[in-house]
Structure 1
Amino acid sequence: MSDTVRSDKELHEQLADRLTSQADEHESGARPHLRRSRAGLDRTRGKGALAAAVETGAEKILRAIEEAEDQLHKHLQDVSQGVRAMGDNHARNDKNIETMLQSIVKRSNDQDAVRDAGGIGKNQPDTTKDPHTVTLEWKPGMPKQAFERKARALQRLGEEGKLFKFKGKTEDYRDKQITAQYKGALEALIRRNHKDDPDFAEEAAVAARKMQPDHVNELQTGGPDAWRNLRMLDRTTNYDIGTQQIRPQIKDLPDGNPINIDIKWWPDD
Protein backbone atom coordinates (compact mmCIF):
# COMPACT_ATOMS: atom_id res chain seq x y z
CA MET A 1 0.00 0.00 0.00
CA SER A 2 1.45 3.36 -1.04
CA ASP A 3 2.26 6.11 1.45
CA THR A 4 1.36 4.04 4.47
CA VAL A 5 3.33 2.44 7.24
CA ARG A 6 3.66 -1.35 7.08
CA SER A 7 4.45 -3.40 10.13
CA ASP A 8 2.84 -6.75 10.87
CA LYS A 9 -0.29 -8.26 9.31
CA GLU A 10 -2.58 -7.08 12.12
CA LEU A 11 -1.58 -3.43 11.77
CA HIS A 12 -1.95 -3.62 8.01
CA GLU A 13 -5.48 -5.02 8.33
CA GLN A 14 -6.43 -2.35 10.87
CA LEU A 15 -5.17 0.33 8.52
CA ALA A 16 -7.10 -1.09 5.59
CA ASP A 17 -10.29 -1.28 7.65
CA ARG A 18 -9.90 2.34 8.74
CA LEU A 19 -9.26 3.54 5.21
CA THR A 20 -12.28 1.70 3.87
CA SER A 21 -14.49 3.01 6.65
CA GLN A 22 -13.47 6.60 6.01
CA ALA A 23 -13.94 6.19 2.29
CA ASP A 24 -17.61 5.47 3.00
CA GLU A 25 -17.91 9.13 3.95
CA HIS A 26 -17.15 10.29 0.40
CA GLU A 27 -19.99 12.43 -0.90
CA SER A 28 -21.50 12.57 -4.32
CA GLY A 29 -20.21 15.18 -6.73
CA ALA A 30 -16.86 16.78 -7.24
CA ARG A 31 -14.38 18.21 -4.73
CA PRO A 32 -15.62 16.65 -1.46
CA HIS A 33 -14.64 18.07 1.91
CA LEU A 34 -13.41 15.23 4.05
CA ARG A 35 -15.16 16.11 7.29
CA ARG A 36 -14.52 12.96 9.22
CA SER A 37 -11.10 12.39 7.78
CA ARG A 38 -9.99 15.89 8.67
CA ALA A 39 -11.56 15.67 12.13
CA GLY A 40 -9.71 12.43 12.67
CA LEU A 41 -6.50 14.08 11.58
CA ASP A 42 -7.01 16.77 14.22
CA ARG A 43 -7.56 14.14 16.88
CA THR A 44 -4.51 12.09 15.94
CA ARG A 45 -2.05 14.83 15.00
CA GLY A 46 1.21 14.26 16.85
CA LYS A 47 0.21 10.74 17.94
CA GLY A 48 2.53 8.78 15.69
CA ALA A 49 3.26 7.81 12.11
CA LEU A 50 0.59 5.11 11.87
CA ALA A 51 -2.24 7.50 12.79
CA ALA A 52 -0.96 10.09 10.32
CA ALA A 53 -0.64 7.46 7.60
CA VAL A 54 -4.25 6.38 8.10
CA GLU A 55 -5.53 9.90 7.46
CA THR A 56 -3.23 10.54 4.51
CA GLY A 57 -4.18 7.20 2.95
CA ALA A 58 -7.90 7.85 3.41
CA GLU A 59 -7.72 11.22 1.69
CA LYS A 60 -5.72 9.72 -1.17
CA ILE A 61 -8.34 7.01 -1.66
CA LEU A 62 -11.20 9.51 -1.70
CA ARG A 63 -9.34 11.67 -4.20
CA ALA A 64 -8.77 8.63 -6.44
CA ILE A 65 -12.50 7.85 -6.42
CA GLU A 66 -13.41 11.45 -7.17
CA GLU A 67 -10.95 11.73 -10.06
CA ALA A 68 -12.12 8.44 -11.57
CA GLU A 69 -15.76 9.54 -11.41
CA ASP A 70 -14.95 12.83 -13.13
CA GLN A 71 -13.19 10.81 -15.84
CA LEU A 72 -16.17 8.49 -16.11
CA HIS A 73 -18.55 11.38 -16.77
CA LYS A 74 -16.22 12.81 -19.40
CA HIS A 75 -15.93 9.42 -21.15
CA LEU A 76 -19.71 8.95 -21.06
CA GLN A 77 -20.21 12.42 -22.50
CA ASP A 78 -17.76 11.58 -25.31
CA VAL A 79 -19.54 8.30 -26.09
CA SER A 80 -22.94 10.01 -26.07
CA GLN A 81 -21.58 12.43 -28.71
CA GLY A 82 -20.21 9.63 -30.87
CA VAL A 83 -16.58 10.07 -29.81
CA ARG A 84 -14.57 6.94 -29.06
CA ALA A 85 -13.65 7.22 -25.40
CA MET A 86 -10.53 5.11 -25.01
CA GLY A 87 -8.65 5.61 -28.28
CA ASP A 88 -7.14 3.11 -30.72
CA ASN A 89 -4.15 1.85 -28.76
CA HIS A 90 -5.97 0.54 -25.72
CA ALA A 91 -5.34 -2.61 -23.70
CA ARG A 92 -7.87 -5.37 -23.09
CA ASN A 93 -9.05 -3.67 -19.89
CA ASP A 94 -9.74 -0.46 -21.82
CA LYS A 95 -11.85 -2.43 -24.31
CA ASN A 96 -13.90 -3.71 -21.39
CA ILE A 97 -14.34 -0.17 -20.10
CA GLU A 98 -15.43 1.09 -23.51
CA THR A 99 -17.95 -1.73 -23.80
CA MET A 100 -19.43 -0.72 -20.45
CA LEU A 101 -19.51 2.95 -21.46
CA GLN A 102 -21.39 2.17 -24.66
CA SER A 103 -23.89 0.02 -22.78
CA ILE A 104 -24.47 2.69 -20.12
CA VAL A 105 -25.11 5.36 -22.76
CA LYS A 106 -27.44 3.12 -24.80
CA ARG A 107 -29.45 2.07 -21.76
CA SER A 108 -29.67 5.68 -20.59
CA ASN A 109 -30.93 6.77 -24.01
CA ASP A 110 -33.53 4.00 -23.94
CA GLN A 111 -34.72 5.18 -20.53
CA ASP A 112 -34.90 8.77 -21.76
CA ALA A 113 -37.15 7.65 -24.63
CA VAL A 114 -39.53 5.92 -22.22
CA ARG A 115 -39.61 8.89 -19.87
CA ASP A 116 -39.96 11.56 -22.56
CA ALA A 117 -43.02 9.81 -24.00
CA GLY A 118 -44.80 9.81 -20.66
CA GLY A 119 -46.01 13.39 -20.31
CA ILE A 120 -47.17 14.80 -16.97
CA GLY A 121 -45.79 12.84 -14.06
CA LYS A 122 -43.12 11.23 -16.21
CA ASN A 123 -40.98 13.99 -17.70
CA GLN A 124 -42.85 17.12 -16.57
CA PRO A 125 -44.79 18.45 -13.59
CA ASP A 126 -48.47 19.32 -13.40
CA THR A 127 -48.17 23.08 -13.20
CA THR A 128 -51.85 23.47 -12.31
CA LYS A 129 -51.05 22.20 -8.81
CA ASP A 130 -49.38 24.13 -6.00
CA PRO A 131 -45.88 22.94 -5.02
CA HIS A 132 -45.61 20.68 -2.00
CA THR A 133 -42.69 21.35 0.35
CA VAL A 134 -40.56 18.37 1.39
CA THR A 135 -38.27 18.86 4.38
CA LEU A 136 -34.87 17.20 4.26
CA GLU A 137 -33.22 16.90 7.65
CA TRP A 138 -29.59 16.23 8.42
CA LYS A 139 -29.20 13.50 11.02
CA PRO A 140 -26.23 12.37 13.11
CA GLY A 141 -24.26 9.76 11.20
CA MET A 142 -24.61 11.54 7.86
CA PRO A 143 -21.45 13.21 6.53
CA LYS A 144 -22.50 16.86 6.58
CA GLN A 145 -20.98 17.78 3.23
CA ALA A 146 -22.57 14.74 1.59
CA PHE A 147 -25.99 15.64 2.97
CA GLU A 148 -25.63 19.30 2.05
CA ARG A 149 -24.52 18.59 -1.52
CA LYS A 150 -27.41 16.20 -2.10
CA ALA A 151 -30.01 18.41 -0.38
CA ARG A 152 -28.84 21.61 -2.11
CA ALA A 153 -28.95 19.90 -5.50
CA LEU A 154 -32.55 18.84 -4.88
CA GLN A 155 -33.43 22.30 -3.59
CA ARG A 156 -32.03 23.89 -6.75
CA LEU A 157 -33.93 21.43 -8.96
CA GLY A 158 -37.12 22.31 -7.10
CA GLU A 159 -36.53 26.01 -7.71
CA GLU A 160 -36.05 25.21 -11.41
CA GLY A 161 -39.39 23.36 -11.54
CA LYS A 162 -37.78 19.96 -12.12
CA LEU A 163 -39.04 18.14 -9.01
CA PHE A 164 -42.45 16.48 -9.06
CA LYS A 165 -44.23 13.32 -7.93
CA PHE A 166 -43.30 10.58 -10.40
CA LYS A 167 -46.23 8.75 -11.96
CA GLY A 168 -46.17 5.04 -11.26
CA LYS A 169 -43.62 2.82 -9.53
CA THR A 170 -39.99 3.78 -9.95
CA GLU A 171 -39.01 0.10 -9.88
CA ASP A 172 -41.08 -0.47 -13.02
CA TYR A 173 -39.19 2.33 -14.78
CA ARG A 174 -35.67 1.81 -13.50
CA ASP A 175 -32.99 -0.12 -15.40
CA LYS A 176 -30.74 -1.41 -12.62
CA GLN A 177 -28.02 -2.31 -15.09
CA ILE A 178 -27.25 1.39 -15.55
CA THR A 179 -26.14 1.86 -11.95
CA ALA A 180 -24.47 -1.56 -11.84
CA GLN A 181 -22.42 -0.87 -14.97
CA TYR A 182 -21.69 2.71 -13.83
CA LYS A 183 -20.19 1.33 -10.64
CA GLY A 184 -18.30 -1.34 -12.57
CA ALA A 185 -16.85 1.22 -14.99
CA LEU A 186 -15.80 3.42 -12.08
CA GLU A 187 -13.94 0.54 -10.45
CA ALA A 188 -12.29 -0.34 -13.76
CA LEU A 189 -11.09 3.25 -14.18
CA ILE A 190 -9.70 3.29 -10.65
CA ARG A 191 -7.72 0.12 -11.37
CA ARG A 192 -6.58 1.48 -14.73
CA ASN A 193 -5.46 4.78 -13.22
CA HIS A 194 -3.41 3.03 -10.54
CA LYS A 195 -2.23 -0.08 -12.38
CA ASP A 196 1.34 0.60 -11.25
CA ASP A 197 0.26 0.38 -7.60
CA PRO A 198 -2.08 -2.64 -7.39
CA ASP A 199 -2.30 -2.56 -3.59
CA PHE A 200 -3.59 1.01 -3.61
CA ALA A 201 -5.86 0.27 -6.58
CA GLU A 202 -7.45 -2.55 -4.60
CA GLU A 203 -7.96 -0.34 -1.53
CA ALA A 204 -9.64 2.37 -3.60
CA ALA A 205 -11.78 -0.12 -5.54
CA VAL A 206 -13.00 -1.72 -2.31
CA ALA A 207 -13.89 1.71 -0.92
CA ALA A 208 -15.82 2.60 -4.10
CA ARG A 209 -17.75 -0.68 -3.94
CA LYS A 210 -19.00 0.27 -0.48
CA MET A 211 -20.61 3.42 -1.93
CA GLN A 212 -23.72 3.66 -4.12
CA PRO A 213 -24.49 5.40 -7.42
CA ASP A 214 -27.12 7.95 -6.43
CA HIS A 215 -29.73 9.53 -8.69
CA VAL A 216 -29.06 13.19 -7.87
CA ASN A 217 -32.64 13.99 -8.86
CA GLU A 218 -34.47 11.03 -7.33
CA LEU A 219 -36.47 8.83 -9.68
CA GLN A 220 -39.45 9.36 -7.38
CA THR A 221 -39.14 13.13 -7.90
CA GLY A 222 -39.00 12.89 -11.70
CA GLY A 223 -35.26 12.44 -12.21
CA PRO A 224 -33.99 10.64 -15.32
CA ASP A 225 -32.67 7.10 -15.01
CA ALA A 226 -29.52 8.06 -16.89
CA TRP A 227 -25.78 8.31 -16.32
CA ARG A 228 -25.79 12.11 -16.30
CA ASN A 229 -28.01 12.00 -13.19
CA LEU A 230 -25.63 9.75 -11.22
CA ARG A 231 -23.00 10.52 -8.61
CA MET A 232 -21.48 8.27 -5.97
CA LEU A 233 -22.82 8.77 -2.45
CA ASP A 234 -22.35 7.09 0.92
CA ARG A 235 -25.00 4.48 1.74
CA THR A 236 -26.31 6.17 4.88
CA THR A 237 -27.14 9.49 3.25
CA ASN A 238 -28.47 7.88 0.09
CA TYR A 239 -30.88 5.57 1.91
CA ASP A 240 -32.08 8.05 4.50
CA ILE A 241 -32.84 10.91 2.13
CA GLY A 242 -34.56 8.79 -0.50
CA THR A 243 -36.35 6.12 1.51
CA GLN A 244 -36.78 7.52 5.00
CA GLN A 245 -37.46 11.16 4.19
CA ILE A 246 -38.67 11.89 0.65
CA ARG A 247 -40.78 8.78 0.05
CA PRO A 248 -43.16 9.12 3.02
CA GLN A 249 -43.59 12.86 2.40
CA ILE A 250 -44.73 12.49 -1.22
CA LYS A 251 -46.48 9.11 -1.31
CA ASP A 252 -49.98 10.62 -1.12
CA LEU A 253 -49.39 13.44 -3.61
CA PRO A 254 -51.15 13.46 -7.00
CA ASP A 255 -49.00 12.39 -9.95
CA GLY A 256 -46.97 15.29 -11.30
CA ASN A 257 -47.43 17.47 -8.21
CA PRO A 258 -44.53 19.98 -8.10
CA ILE A 259 -42.13 19.69 -5.15
CA ASN A 260 -39.98 22.21 -3.34
CA ILE A 261 -37.27 21.41 -0.79
CA ASP A 262 -36.67 22.85 2.66
CA ILE A 263 -33.44 21.93 4.47
CA LYS A 264 -33.25 21.45 8.23
CA TRP A 265 -30.05 21.09 10.23
CA TRP A 266 -30.61 19.00 13.36
CA PRO A 267 -30.68 20.16 16.13
CA ASP A 268 -29.77 23.75 15.19
CA ASP A 269 -32.97 24.69 13.29
Structure 2
Amino acid sequence: MARKRTTPPRQTQARGAKILSAYLENADVFRTAKTNGTTPRGPAVLVLRNRPDFDKRDFDRKAKDLVRLGQEGRLSKAKSDRTANNVYDRKRGTTRTRTNVFRDRVIRRLTKNERLTQRHGTRETNQYLANKALVDRLYDGRGPIRARGEGLDPDHIHELQLDGADTYANLRLMDAWTNRQIGSDIATALRDVPEGTRVIVKLVP
Protein backbone atom coordinates (compact mmCIF):
# COMPACT_ATOMS: atom_id res chain seq x y z
CA MET A 1 0.00 0.00 0.00
CA ALA A 2 1.34 3.41 -0.97
CA ARG A 3 2.36 5.56 1.97
CA LYS A 4 0.39 8.77 2.40
CA ARG A 5 2.34 11.97 1.95
CA THR A 6 2.32 14.14 5.05
CA THR A 7 4.70 16.83 3.79
CA PRO A 8 4.70 18.96 0.62
CA PRO A 9 6.40 17.59 -2.51
CA ARG A 10 10.20 17.78 -2.28
CA GLN A 11 10.55 20.45 -4.92
CA THR A 12 8.51 22.88 -2.80
CA GLN A 13 10.92 22.43 0.12
CA ALA A 14 14.10 23.19 -1.80
CA ARG A 15 15.87 26.42 -0.92
CA GLY A 16 14.53 29.27 -3.00
CA ALA A 17 11.59 27.22 -4.34
CA LYS A 18 8.15 28.82 -4.48
CA ILE A 19 6.00 27.74 -1.55
CA LEU A 20 2.83 26.07 -2.76
CA SER A 21 -0.46 26.95 -1.11
CA ALA A 22 -1.98 23.62 -2.12
CA TYR A 23 -0.67 20.09 -2.50
CA LEU A 24 -2.17 16.61 -2.47
CA GLU A 25 -1.37 14.61 0.64
CA ASN A 26 -2.04 11.32 -1.17
CA ALA A 27 -0.63 12.39 -4.54
CA ASP A 28 1.35 9.13 -4.89
CA VAL A 29 -1.89 7.11 -4.81
CA PHE A 30 -3.42 9.06 -7.69
CA ARG A 31 -0.20 9.25 -9.67
CA THR A 32 0.24 5.48 -9.45
CA ALA A 33 -3.40 4.84 -10.37
CA LYS A 34 -3.11 7.10 -13.41
CA THR A 35 0.02 5.28 -14.56
CA ASN A 36 -1.58 1.86 -14.07
CA GLY A 37 -4.95 2.84 -15.52
CA THR A 38 -6.78 2.02 -12.29
CA THR A 39 -9.26 3.92 -10.15
CA PRO A 40 -8.00 4.93 -6.70
CA ARG A 41 -10.19 4.38 -3.67
CA GLY A 42 -11.13 7.12 -1.28
CA PRO A 43 -11.06 10.89 -1.58
CA ALA A 44 -8.26 13.17 -2.66
CA VAL A 45 -6.81 14.91 0.39
CA LEU A 46 -6.02 18.51 -0.54
CA VAL A 47 -3.77 20.33 1.92
CA LEU A 48 -3.87 24.14 2.05
CA ARG A 49 -1.44 26.49 3.74
CA ASN A 50 -0.89 30.21 3.65
CA ARG A 51 1.95 31.68 1.58
CA PRO A 52 3.98 34.68 2.77
CA ASP A 53 2.90 36.62 -0.33
CA PHE A 54 -0.82 36.07 0.34
CA ASP A 55 -3.35 38.27 2.06
CA LYS A 56 -3.67 36.17 5.23
CA ARG A 57 -7.21 37.26 6.07
CA ASP A 58 -8.51 36.37 2.61
CA PHE A 59 -6.59 33.08 2.52
CA ASP A 60 -7.89 32.03 5.95
CA ARG A 61 -11.47 32.79 4.99
CA LYS A 62 -11.14 30.90 1.70
CA ALA A 63 -9.41 27.89 3.26
CA LYS A 64 -11.87 27.57 6.14
CA ASP A 65 -14.82 27.60 3.75
CA LEU A 66 -13.23 24.86 1.63
CA VAL A 67 -12.52 22.77 4.75
CA ARG A 68 -16.19 23.11 5.73
CA LEU A 69 -17.45 22.26 2.24
CA GLY A 70 -15.22 19.17 2.20
CA GLN A 71 -16.56 18.04 5.57
CA GLU A 72 -20.08 18.43 4.21
CA GLY A 73 -19.17 16.16 1.28
CA ARG A 74 -19.73 18.91 -1.30
CA LEU A 75 -16.30 18.99 -2.94
CA SER A 76 -15.30 16.92 -5.95
CA LYS A 77 -13.06 17.51 -8.93
CA ALA A 78 -15.15 19.08 -11.66
CA LYS A 79 -14.78 18.68 -15.39
CA SER A 80 -12.47 21.31 -16.88
CA ASP A 81 -14.56 23.84 -18.81
CA ARG A 82 -13.14 27.24 -19.80
CA THR A 83 -16.61 28.54 -20.68
CA ALA A 84 -18.28 27.49 -17.38
CA ASN A 85 -18.10 31.08 -16.10
CA ASN A 86 -19.59 32.68 -19.25
CA VAL A 87 -22.91 34.50 -19.36
CA TYR A 88 -24.62 36.38 -22.19
CA ASP A 89 -24.78 40.12 -21.63
CA ARG A 90 -27.96 41.25 -23.39
CA LYS A 91 -27.15 44.93 -22.91
CA ARG A 92 -23.78 44.61 -24.69
CA GLY A 93 -24.74 41.73 -26.96
CA THR A 94 -21.59 39.83 -25.97
CA THR A 95 -20.53 36.92 -23.81
CA ARG A 96 -18.77 37.86 -20.56
CA THR A 97 -17.64 36.02 -17.47
CA ARG A 98 -19.96 36.11 -14.50
CA THR A 99 -17.08 37.35 -12.34
CA ASN A 100 -16.59 40.42 -14.58
CA VAL A 101 -20.32 41.14 -14.54
CA PHE A 102 -20.24 40.90 -10.74
CA ARG A 103 -17.21 43.22 -10.59
CA ASP A 104 -18.99 45.86 -12.68
CA ARG A 105 -22.14 45.59 -10.56
CA VAL A 106 -20.13 46.22 -7.39
CA ILE A 107 -18.38 49.20 -9.00
CA ARG A 108 -21.71 50.71 -10.07
CA ARG A 109 -23.11 50.19 -6.58
CA LEU A 110 -20.11 51.95 -5.04
CA THR A 111 -20.00 54.85 -7.49
CA LYS A 112 -23.50 55.23 -8.93
CA ASN A 113 -22.08 57.02 -11.98
CA GLU A 114 -18.93 54.88 -12.16
CA ARG A 115 -15.84 57.08 -12.83
CA LEU A 116 -17.74 59.95 -14.46
CA THR A 117 -17.99 61.95 -11.24
CA GLN A 118 -14.72 61.04 -9.56
CA ARG A 119 -13.35 64.62 -9.75
CA HIS A 120 -16.50 66.32 -8.48
CA GLY A 121 -17.95 66.89 -5.05
CA THR A 122 -16.74 65.74 -1.66
CA ARG A 123 -16.53 62.42 0.14
CA GLU A 124 -19.98 63.13 1.54
CA THR A 125 -21.60 63.83 -1.86
CA ASN A 126 -19.58 61.62 -4.21
CA GLN A 127 -19.66 57.85 -3.71
CA TYR A 128 -16.57 57.34 -5.83
CA LEU A 129 -14.49 59.54 -3.56
CA ALA A 130 -15.95 57.86 -0.48
CA ASN A 131 -15.00 54.42 -1.81
CA LYS A 132 -12.00 55.40 -3.95
CA ALA A 133 -9.47 52.87 -2.58
CA LEU A 134 -11.89 49.96 -2.96
CA VAL A 135 -13.07 51.00 -6.41
CA ASP A 136 -9.51 51.52 -7.67
CA ARG A 137 -8.56 48.00 -6.52
CA LEU A 138 -11.59 46.62 -8.37
CA TYR A 139 -10.51 48.39 -11.58
CA ASP A 140 -6.89 47.26 -11.10
CA GLY A 141 -8.08 43.66 -10.75
CA ARG A 142 -9.13 43.67 -14.40
CA GLY A 143 -5.49 43.43 -15.47
CA PRO A 144 -2.33 41.50 -14.55
CA ILE A 145 -1.48 41.30 -10.85
CA ARG A 146 2.08 40.92 -9.57
CA ALA A 147 1.64 41.12 -5.78
CA ARG A 148 -0.96 41.14 -3.03
CA GLY A 149 -2.87 44.35 -2.51
CA GLU A 150 -2.74 45.43 -6.16
CA GLY A 151 -6.32 44.52 -7.01
CA LEU A 152 -9.53 42.79 -6.05
CA ASP A 153 -11.21 39.85 -7.79
CA PRO A 154 -14.67 38.35 -7.45
CA ASP A 155 -13.89 34.88 -6.08
CA HIS A 156 -16.01 31.74 -6.12
CA ILE A 157 -16.36 30.74 -2.46
CA HIS A 158 -17.01 27.16 -3.56
CA GLU A 159 -14.39 26.77 -6.32
CA LEU A 160 -15.72 25.96 -9.79
CA GLN A 161 -12.92 23.39 -10.17
CA LEU A 162 -14.29 21.72 -7.02
CA ASP A 163 -17.82 21.54 -8.46
CA GLY A 164 -19.03 24.88 -7.11
CA ALA A 165 -22.00 26.68 -8.64
CA ASP A 166 -21.39 29.62 -10.96
CA THR A 167 -23.89 31.94 -9.29
CA TYR A 168 -23.67 35.48 -7.97
CA ALA A 169 -24.51 34.14 -4.50
CA ASN A 170 -21.28 32.10 -4.66
CA LEU A 171 -19.10 35.18 -5.31
CA ARG A 172 -17.34 37.59 -2.94
CA LEU A 173 -14.43 39.97 -3.25
CA MET A 174 -10.91 38.70 -2.53
CA ASP A 175 -7.34 39.94 -2.95
CA ALA A 176 -6.62 39.25 -6.63
CA TRP A 177 -3.09 37.88 -6.19
CA THR A 178 -4.15 35.49 -3.43
CA ASN A 179 -7.19 34.37 -5.40
CA ARG A 180 -5.32 33.65 -8.63
CA GLN A 181 -2.37 31.92 -7.02
CA ILE A 182 -4.38 29.62 -4.78
CA GLY A 183 -6.65 28.72 -7.70
CA SER A 184 -3.61 27.82 -9.81
CA ASP A 185 -2.02 25.83 -6.99
CA ILE A 186 -5.22 23.83 -6.42
CA ALA A 187 -5.50 23.04 -10.14
CA THR A 188 -1.89 21.81 -10.19
CA ALA A 189 -2.40 19.71 -7.06
CA LEU A 190 -5.44 17.98 -8.57
CA ARG A 191 -4.02 17.35 -12.05
CA ASP A 192 -3.80 13.54 -11.58
CA VAL A 193 -7.15 13.27 -9.81
CA PRO A 194 -9.99 11.86 -11.97
CA GLU A 195 -13.08 14.00 -12.53
CA GLY A 196 -15.82 13.27 -10.00
CA THR A 197 -13.41 12.22 -7.25
CA ARG A 198 -14.46 13.46 -3.82
CA VAL A 199 -12.07 15.99 -2.28
CA ILE A 200 -11.51 16.75 1.38
CA VAL A 201 -9.43 19.71 2.55
CA LYS A 202 -6.97 20.09 5.39
CA LEU A 203 -5.56 23.39 6.61
CA VAL A 204 -2.01 23.43 7.98
CA PRO A 205 0.11 26.29 9.39
Q: Which residue of 2 aligns with 1:228?
A: 169
1:205 alignment partner, one of 108, 124, 135:
135
Contact 1:220–1:247 (Cα < 8 Å) also in 2:
yes
Q: Which residue of 2 aligns with 1:259?
A: 199
Partners in 2 of 1:262 and 1:204 — Cα distance? 31
Q: Larger % of strand: which?
A: 2
2:155 alignment partner, one of 210, 214, 218:
214
Partners in 2 of 1:240 and 1:192 — Cα distance? 32
* Aligned sequence identity (%): 29
1:183 deviation in Å? 0.5
How many corresponding residue pairs? 136
Q: Larger % of helix: which?
A: 1
The within-5 A match list for 1:84-123 is none
1:170 alignment partner, one of 62, 81, 97:
81
Contact 2:85–2:99 (Cα < 8 Å) also in 1:
no
Contact 1:129–1:258 (Cα < 8 Å) also in 2:
no
Structure 2 unaligned blocks of 5 or more: 1-39, 87-95, 114-122, 140-150
Partners in 2 of 1:223 and 1:139 — Cα distance? 24
1:183 aligns with 2:123: no
1:135 alignment partner, one of 37, 47, 58:
47
Partners in 2 of 1:204 and 1:132 — Cα distance? 37
- Structure 1 stretches (4+) deviating beyond 3 angstroms? 192-195, 201-204
One-letter code aligned to 2:188: P
Partners in 1 of 2:172 and 2:64 — Cα distance? 14
The two structures have a TM-score, normalised by structure 1, of 0.47
Q: Which residue of 1 aligns with 2:14?
A: none
Partners in 1 of 2:134 and 2:156 — Cα distance? 22
Partners in 2 of 1:129 and 1:172 — Cα distance? 30
Partners in 2 of 1:235 and 1:256 — Cα distance? 28
1:153 alignment partner, one of 49, 65, 88:
65
Partners in 2 of 1:146 and 1:135 — Cα distance? 17
